[in-house]
Amino acid sequence: MPIATVNPATGETLKTFDPLEPAEVERRLAAAGTAFREHRTTPFAERARLLRRAADLLEEDRDDIARTMTTEMGKPLAAARAEAAKCVKAMRWYADNAERLLADEHPDADQVRDSGAVTARIHYRPLGPVLAVMPWNFPLWQVVRFAAPALMAGNVGLLKHASNVPQTALYLEDLFRRAGYPEGCFQTLLVGSAAVEGILRDPRVAAATLTGSEPAGRSVASVAGDEVKKTVLELGGSDPYVVMPSADVGRAAEVAVTARVQNNGQSCIAAKRFIVHADVYDAFTERFTAGMAALTVGDPMDESTDVGPLASERGRDELAELVDDAVGAGATVRCGGGRPEGLERGWYYRPTVLSDVTPGMRIHREETFGPVAVVYRVGSLDEAVDLANDTPFGLSSNVWTRDEEDVRRFVRDLQAGGVFVNGMTASHPALPFGGVKRSGYGRELSGHGIKEFCNATTVWQAG
């Protein structure tokens, strides 16, 4: 895949980039190693000063970088601005909280004496240069939610971004440079996917984090396992959105539209499978379908646009294939399907709602990465749980109910990294984020995320 900015609203290639030569990759790896030796001992106050400066610069750049993101991957401009603002928030949160999150831990004194020590503590130390293999769908946020905690912990970052967002990738390197980070603390590597294995095997690279597809995760995890290096993986998702009889059906249907089409439907944590109790199925489905049908599809630079193009022609075609397979096997199209009229250029797909989907259809098992929703009817809580868990993924989940016993059961039984009750899934710097099953392992954000790339060092002292 070429490293290029291709406008998904028009299909036009706007700018191409040559991948880094091996000698330049080597220079950057050496710089990362040198930077880590210095940065790891930098006081928290200095790390926080640098990160706050980066946040201030990003806030100033918000409109410009939002337009870059929209041009490169097609998200509506308002959503791009919101993504930049979210990054600013996360940077400031980690600048404010990292020292507290990584403070030494002191075990119970009686237990310490039982070990033969006079004192003992757990001290958190950074691992080293971390390779981040990042996706195009949230090209700023996915990187910042790794970089902010990693840099505050004393690690340094090497970014291998998706090949279709090179200008955003280069902006990030420049952002941290302008903030005053020493050379090598955060570097963008414009390389193809074939170069990842060699970089990850380099002894100067201590660990890796990847957000992306399941095949990409398997590849990185396999190499890292062979090298015995730590990894964090955030892969696909096919999140359930369960609506029970006691729910506020109108509100659930309204939020469901946003939950499905956020980021043009290209989000791992977007709700994709809408599992609705028979008692409220008709009311919910009617309102949800009407909301999806009313969305404005068009130029993502237009402030009135709700849903822009998919990021790539291949992505649009794969989504269409899933819908066509389901319809051919008997699924019902309640709204949408196919390309919108008047948008012949670009990689658009109409917001779509399907019902009567059965387990034999591909769309029942595969992730729909675009504005397509599947609505299921269930007759009980047990049936809802079974259907929600009938997926290889387990990233997050959404539950709508006002019954506390329902909540208890869903929290206990849903196989997911998160359960969001009466609201849509969202990430926040203070809350751990990640999945189970084929959605990956490890956690980003919160104290859990900042400790992922730290050595929890036991300090035992007898006298």
What pLDDT shows up at residue 1? 76
Percentages helix, strand, coil for the chain (3-state, rounded to 5) are: 45, 20, 35
- d(CA 417, CA 428) in angstroms, rounded, equals 14
DSSP state of 137: S
| DSSP output for 164-211 | T-HHHHHHHHHHHHHTTPPTTSEEE----GGGHHHHHHSTT--EEEEE
Convert the pLDDT of each residue in 57-91 to its tens digit. Answer: 999 999 999 999 999 999 999 999 999 999 999 99
The contacts of residue 371 (CB under 8 Å, 6+ apart) are: 260, 261, 264, 265, 292, 295, 307, 336, 349, 350, 351, 352
Q: Is 21 a residue whose pLDDT tops 80? A: yes
- 8 A C-beta contact, residue 364 and residue 25: no
- d(CA 324, CA 318) in angstroms, rounded, equals 10
- d(CA 27, CA 24) in angstroms, rounded, equals 5
Percent of the chain at pLDDT > 70 equals 100
Cα-Cα-Cα-Cα dihedral sign, residues 174, 176, 182, 183: negative
Convert the pLDDT of each residue in 188-247 to its tens digit. Answer: 999 999 999 999 999 999 999 999 999 999 999 999 999 999 999 999 999 999 999 999
- 8 A C-beta contact, residue 170 and residue 190: yes
What pLDDT shows up at residue 446? 98
Q: Is 135 a residue whose pLDDT tops 80? A: yes
- d(CA 19, CA 321) in angstroms, rounded, equals 32
Report the chain's C-alpha Rg in angstroms: 23
Convert the pLDDT of each residue in 267-289 to its tens digit. Answer: 999 999 999 999 999 999 999 99
What pLDDT shows up at residue 183? 97
- Tell me which of 112-121, 128-137, 212-221 is least confident: 112-121
**Neighbouring C-alpha atoms within 13 Å toward the C-beta of 412:** 8
What pLDDT shows up at residue 160? 98
> In the annotation, is 405 catalytic?
no
The one catalytic residue in 72, 83, 173, 268 is 268
Task: Indicate the average pLDDT of the chain.
Answer: 97
What pLDDT shows up at residue 344? 86
What pLDDT shows up at residue 111? 86
The one catalytic residue in 173, 234, 366, 452 is 234
What pLDDT shows up at residue 109? 87
- 8 A C-beta contact, residue 47 and residue 148: no
User: How far is the CA of 190 from the CAs of 16, 205, 328, in angstroms?
Assistant: 11, 17, 42
- d(CA 459, CA 453) in angstroms, rounded, equals 18
> In the annotation, is 268 catalytic?
yes
- d(CA 400, CA 421) in angstroms, rounded, equals 6
- d(CA 384, CA 240) in angstroms, rounded, equals 9
What pLDDT shows up at residue 110? 87
